[in-house]
Amino acid sequence: MASDYGGVWYWNRYPGARVDSAVPHYEFSDSGLWREWTWKQRFPGSAEIRDYFSYVADKWGLRKDTHFNTHISKAVWDEQTKRWAIESKDGKRYVARYFLLNTGFAAKRHVPE
């Protein structure tokens, strides 16, 4: 599990690691993001991609609602409250309107009960 945003870009930090598609294919469509972010390279390296994801997380205020390295053991939708009741393996409990499992396409999949 990663400790920050970026998925495979979090892990791939070897020399020469970079995207194989030119910008803007790696940009989000939110004009508030791409107008304020300036890419240094047309084919950004992994460090610049990680910087971009960190920038997006800060601009969108995602950090307060993101829990990295958390193994979810149970997630139940409560129809009455329209909220998720979520339990982690370490015993923490969360209640949320939205619940996104971001395991990534290159990770070993785990689907909670």
Q: Rounded to an integer, what distance in angstroms lies between the CA atom of residue 59 and that of residue 54?
A: 9
Tell me the per-residue pLDDT of 57-113, one tens digit each, with 9 for 90 and over: 999 999 999 988 888 999 999 999 999 999 999 999 999 999 988 776 666 666 766
Residues 63, 78: contact at Cβ < 8 Å? no
Q: Is 6 exposed, middle or buried (0-12, 13-18, 19+ CB in 10 A)?
A: buried
Tell me the per-residue pLDDT of 2-16, one tens digit each, with 9 for 90 and over: 788 888 888 888 999
pLDDT given for residue 101 in this prediction: 81
